């Protein structure tokens, strides 16, 4: 086990950048180029290939460290491999970066400066913009509304004209998330049983509960290669996100909140679906309400299944294929 150190005593913190890569060698190359161009140094680059089906060239990493996993461990498991490597290498901070993200040259310098200014910073991150529209915000901090049990994103799709606070206390996106050694030594690593979905919300919630700050720095900037107009989620992602949301709410707010979440989400989704049926039947199949409603219903079925069986919720694409709700969801989605 590693020893934690107070952030305020670090003169020049050691920083690792952990990049989890999956099937995007071109994006990975752009990401690594932006890391190599950082004004902060030295940086310990750690790239994890999450068992890509396409060839990822380890030479892209240059003088960094490249690891190819034998199986896809999901977002949490893959990043935990990188985080453990970063801690073993005695880094004070580990910056998780999506392989389809690009950092401004002074991004890490700005994040470290803010992290050093507060004695109990757990997570710090930049404002993230759309790569295709450099001033339009994709994520300027998140918030989890306990009343409606829903995560929301500050500034989504807004053009940044300086309206955001210099430093804000918000959830930090897992797309670009700097984590302190002190936080990991206190609360542990990312939730890695959920495969992909809500791990970052869980980590932010755990950090807050442990008394750590989670800050978004407006002067630090990154860009994410996501579409301005999101497409309907894939079958696996839609279902996985739905089930992970049930697990997140149970973990932090209890089973009664799970029931409330199910009723709220089902009601709103059914309302949207009804409006579609009443107006334009021809676009029903492409309307996001239908797969979302199916995912909520099927994920709730598997959540109940887990509760009855008393099992630990360990998810992967392989494990999910044996769940009754997942099998029903894939059947209905393919019709």
104-152 tens-digit pLDDT: 999 999 999 999 998 899 999 999 999 999 999 999 999 887 766 677 8
| 3-class secondary structure per residue, 225-293 | CCCCCCCCCCHHHHHHHHHHHHHHHHHHHCHHHHHHHHHHHHHHHHHHHHHHHHHCHHHHHHCCHHHHH
pLDDT of residue 259: 77
Q: Pairing mode, if any, of strands 93-98 and 101-103?
A: unpaired
Domains of the chain plus CATH, in order, are 7-224 (3.90.550.60), 235-333 (no CATH)
Residue 127 to residue 176: CA distance in whole angstroms = 9
Q: Percent of the chain scored above 70 by pLDDT?
A: 78
What are the structure tokens assigned to 229, written together?
Answer: 């107009």
Inform me whether the pLDDT recorded for 292 exceeds 80. Answer: no
pTM of the model as a whole: 0.83
Instruction: Choose the most confident range, by mean pLDDT, from 27-31, 54-58, 233-237, 263-267.
Output: 27-31
Per-residue pLDDT tens digits for 172-222: 999 999 999 999 999 999 998 776 678 999 999 999 999 999 999 999 999
How many C-beta atoms surround the C-beta of residue 137 within 10 A?
Answer: 21
Q: What's the angle, vertex CA 187, arms to CA 86 and CA 190, rounded to 5?
A: 60
Report whether 131 contacts 34 (CB < 8 A).
Answer: no
Q: Percent of the chain scored above 90 by pLDDT?
A: 53
Q: Which helix (H) or strand (E) holds 333?
A: helix 324-333
Q: Between helices 255-279 and 289-309, what is the axis angle to 10°? A: 160
Confidence of residue 28 (pLDDT cuts 50, 70, 90): very high
Mean pLDDT of 284-313: 65
Inform me whether the pLDDT recorded for 27 exceeds 90. Answer: yes
The average confidence (pLDDT) of the chain is 83
Report whether 172 contacts 183 (CB < 8 A).
Answer: no
Helix/strand/coil for 110: helix
The residues facing 65 across adjacent strands are 46
């Amino acid at each position: 086990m590693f020893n934690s150190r107070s952030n305020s005593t670090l003169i020049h913190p050691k920083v690792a950048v952990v990049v989890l890569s999956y099937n995007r060698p071109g994006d990975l190359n752009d990401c690594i180029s932006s890391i190599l161009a950082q004004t902060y140094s030295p940086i310990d680059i750690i790239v994890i290939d999450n068992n890509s089906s396409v060839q990822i060239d380890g030479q892209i990493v240059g003088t960094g460290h490249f690891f190819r996993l034998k199986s896809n461990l999901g977002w949490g498991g893959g990043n935990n491999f990188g985080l453990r490597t970063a801690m073993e290498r005695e880094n004070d901070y580990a910056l998780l970066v999506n392989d389809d993200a690009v950092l401004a040259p002074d991004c890490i310098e700005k994040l470290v400066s803010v992290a050093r200014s507060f004695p109990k910073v757990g997570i710090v991150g930049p404002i993230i913009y759309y790569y295709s529209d450099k001033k339009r915000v994709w994520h300027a901090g998140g918030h989890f509304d306990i009343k409606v049990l829903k995560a929301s994103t500050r500034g989504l799709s807004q053009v940044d004209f300086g309206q955001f606070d210099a430093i804000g206390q918000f959830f930090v996106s897992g797309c670009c998330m700097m984590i302190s050694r002190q936080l990991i030594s206190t609360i542990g690593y990312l939730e890695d049983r959920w495969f992909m979905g809500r791990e970052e919300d869980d980590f932010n919630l755990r950090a807050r509960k442990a008394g750590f700050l989670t800050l978004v720095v407006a002067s630090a900037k990154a860009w994410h290669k996501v579409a301005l107009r999101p497409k309907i989620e894939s079958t696996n992602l839609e279902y996985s996100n739905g089930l992970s949301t049930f697990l997140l709410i149970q973990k932090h707010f209890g089973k009664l909140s799970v029931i409330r979440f199910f009723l709220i989400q089902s009601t709103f989704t059914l309302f949207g679906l009804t409006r579609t049926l009443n107006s334009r039947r021809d676009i029903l199949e492409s309307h996001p309400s239908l797969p979302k409603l199916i995912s909520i219903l099927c994920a709730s079925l598997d959540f109940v299944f887990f509760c009855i069986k008393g099992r630990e919720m360990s998810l992967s694409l392989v494990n999910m294929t044996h769940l009754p709700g997942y099998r029903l969801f894939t059947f209905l989605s393919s019709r």
